[in-house]
């Protein structure tokens, strides 16, 4: 295990890492110990009582965080004609077709989100091996394959995030920035938790929220008591 830096070990002295805190206490601690020289991202990591190897226990959803993530995302849109113009007018960073597909195949990845109109999926589908492993493949279930590119772009710019359970049964999401007021971090977290509860698979049995940890980019995690949040 890599040796932790002094800032990390000093942060551990400011709270009890094994204690389970309520939401307000947890975010107060996270803000207090987030003291890097940049505006750290605040993250939530939730261990779920599901087995992601089973298709009927997959957890995936999207939501627009009430106060956004604090990060401006670069948006790539695959569209032609009127939809190409609409995407540019809505604020997409890159809009096009085959020329961008070729750039991506060549290793260009200067974007955070990919949106495509349904008629462009023949082009985008060929990028599956590149975009898929990075979680960037457009999908109609999360609103990134759509004719309404304007709305999709608007939601992303407003703070829309996608979350999905990984193979270790954990969901990882950004909640905001260390510079956010504590109340805004709590609002974003509560909105995420509500969406996570809504996404609970019918096949999931037993305890759904196994453990919840919130942390900043460079600091240790603070545990939240999941029993008080379970529904």
Q: Where are the domains of the chain?
A: 15-69+160-228, 75-157
Kindly report the pTM of this predicted structure.
0.82
Instruction: Give the percent of the chain with pLDDT over 90.
Output: 78
Which whole number is the average pLDDT over 183-196?
96
Indicate the CATH number for domain 75-157.
3.40.50.790
Name the band, by pLDDT with cuts 50, 70 and 90, for residue 7.
confident
Q: Is the CB of residue 131 less than 8 Å from the CB of residue 113?
A: no
Write the CATH number of the domain with boundaries 15-69+160-228. 3.30.190.20
pLDDT interval class at 103 (50, 70, 90): very high
Q: Is the pLDDT of residue 132 over 50?
A: yes
Q: 1 pLDDT exceeds 80?
A: no
If you average pLDDT over residues 151-180, what whole number do you get? 93
């Amino acid at each position: 295990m890599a040796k932790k830096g002094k800032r990390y070990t000093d942060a551990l002295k400011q709270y009890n890492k094994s204690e389970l805190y309520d939401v307000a206490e947890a975010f107060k601690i996270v803000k207090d110990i987030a003291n890097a020289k940049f505006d750290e991202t605040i993250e939530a990591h939730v261990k779920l009582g599901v087995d992601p190897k089973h298709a009927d226990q997959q957890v995936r959803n999207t939501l627009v965080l009430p106060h956004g993530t604090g990060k401006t995302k670069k948006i790539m849109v695959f569209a032609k004609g009127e939809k190409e113009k609409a995407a540019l007018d809505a604020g997409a960073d890159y809009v096009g077709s085959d020329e961008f597909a070729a750039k991506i195949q060549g290793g260009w990845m200067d974007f955070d989100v990919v949106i495509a109109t349904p008629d462009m999926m023949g082009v985008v589908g060929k990028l599956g091996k590149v975009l898929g492993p990075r979680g960037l493949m457009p999908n109609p279930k999360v609103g990134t394959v759509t004719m309404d590119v304007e709305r999709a772009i608007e939601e992303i710019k407003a703070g829309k995030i996608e979350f999905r359970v990984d193979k270790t049964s954990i969901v990882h999401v950004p909640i905001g920035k260390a510079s956010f007021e504590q109340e805004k971090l709590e609002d974003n977290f509560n909105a995420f938790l509500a969406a996570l509860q809504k996404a609970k698979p019918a096949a999931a049995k037993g305890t759904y929220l196994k453990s919840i940890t919130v942390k900043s980019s460079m600091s240790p995690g603070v545990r939240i008591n999941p029993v008080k949040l379970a529904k």
